[in-house]
Amino acid sequence: MNASLVKRTLAAVAAVGALATGMGAAQAEDVKAGFVYVGPIGDHGWSYRHDIGRQAIEAELGDAASTTFVESVPEGADAERVITQLAQTGHNLIFTTSFGYMNPTEKVAKRFPNVKFEHATGYKRADNLSTYAARFYEGRYVAGVIAGKMTKSNIVGYVGSFPIPEVVRGINSFMMGAWSVNPDVQVKIVWANTWYDPGKEGDAAKALIDQGADIMVQHTDSPAPLQVAENRGVLGFGQASDMIKFAPKAQLTAIVDNWDSYYVARAKAVADGTWESKDTWGGIDTGMVEMAPYTNMPDDVKALAEETAAKIASGEFHPFTGPIYDQAGELRVAEGEIADDGMLLGMDWYIKGIDAELPK
């Protein structure tokens, strides 16, 4: 079966399903989903992956759903207008896909109680406002294990966006993964102060490689740092999507955001009238976090990476298992305990051993 046939079959199945539930449930309605993106859909990272999720809704629900998106919406006064316009133009399910949209989303949600809102990576919820995010730190731990095995200089270069808990948590998780196989690894961090700026991201990567880094990790959205790694002959990890075509010789794996199943499930919930406000934080086990194929590494490293990811997915292992000390030497998570989600969500401290200071 070719891809378009699969799509059409799925669409037909979905349409029949929608029809069937339509007869049963009184609240059934066609889904008109609107998406607000912080970057261009061509960023090949964060916004691109959300847009793939949007397309999954269209593919799965077929005629029962239509979707719209607005890209590169600044996280200031403009967001509220764009979200309002989506609500006013008949969209009944609106995804706002960046942390900075939290307050505008909350404001608009109050004014449109019949529209369902989904805000990514935030913490404010309401009866018609859900939140969702993914446990990318799980993927970063796996990446750390690979980096610990693959580095020769024992220096890892890390391009950060902003020192928010999401990114700090990722650095801590990555380094715990790296130290689990190689205690001599050191990390050098450069803050690009942007989520998407290929020029700045690339410059940061160059500076890190000049300082001896032979593994490039990024928490920014463009493929630029990985491309720099490719050109300089060092290794690296893709961000948000499988970036292998940008760096066929450099990419070890990528931590892929996969919103497809969540978006489809939420759209279906609106279609059959079962949508409820909730908070979702999914990891490798739910498929929200995916590891791109392991490439450019020997088989034993690949096997170790697969095993680590499988242990995290099964719940056998949690990256933030104590004892965990912060840089001041204070015990934050006791031996054998696991950091709770509250601590993870508000993480604003580096673990002991990271030789850098968190920008304050």
Partner 1 sequence: MVRLEPRRQHSQAMVYLSPVLAILMTLVVGGIIFAFMGKNPFDALYTFFILPINNSYGISELFVKATPLVIIAVGLAMGFRANVWNIGAEGQLTMGAIFGGGLALYFHDSESILLMPAMFVLGALGGAFWGAIPALLRTKFNANEILTSLMLTYVATLFLSFLVHGPWRNPEGFNFPESRPFPDAGLLPIIFEGSRVHLGTAVAVFVVIAGWLLLSKSVIGFQLRVVGKAPQAARHVGFRQKRMVWFTLLLGGALAGLAGLFEVSGPIGQLQPSISPGYGFTAIIVAFLGRLHPVGILFGGLIMALTYLGGELAQITLGLPNAVTGLFQGILLFFLLASDVLTKYRIRFGSIAAKGRTA
Q: Which residues bind partner 1 (CB under 8 A)?
A: 34, 40, 68-78, 80-82, 84-86, 88-89, 99-100, 103, 123, 162-165, 193, 345-348, 359-360
Nearest-approach distance from CB 307 to partner 1, in angstroms: 33
Q: For the chain, where are the E strands, in sequence order?
A: 31-36, 65-70, 93-96, 116-120, 129-134, 155-160, 186-191, 215-218, 235-240, 251-257, 279-282, 289-291, 324-325, 331-333
Q: Which is nearer to partner 1, 315 or 342 (CB)?
A: 342
User: Coil, strand or helix: which one is 141?
Assistant: helix
In angstroms, give the least distance from the CB of 76 to partner 1.
5
CB of 163 vs partner 1, minimal distance in Å: 6
User: What whole-number distance in Å separates Cα of residue 360 and Cα of residue 356?
Assistant: 12
Residue closer to partner 1 (CB basis): 73 or 187: 73
Minimal distance in Å, beta carbon 131 to partner 1?
12
Q: Which helix (H) or strand (E) holds 342?
A: helix 341-345
Longest dimension (CA), the chain: 65
Nearer to partner 1, 92 or 251 (CB): 92
List of residues 6+ apart from 45 with CB closer than 8 A: 39, 196, 220, 221, 222, 223, 239, 240, 241
Decide whether 58 or 138 has the Cβ nearer to partner 1.
Answer: 58
73/155 with CB nearer partner 1: 73
Min dist. Cβ of residue 60 to partner 1 (A): 19
Query: Distance (Å, rounded) from C-alpha 264 to C-alpha 72?
Result: 23
What is the DSSP annotation of 29-55? --EEEEEE-SS-GGGSSHHHHHHHHHH
CB of 9 to partner 1, least distance (A): 25
306 or 348: CB nearest partner 1: 348
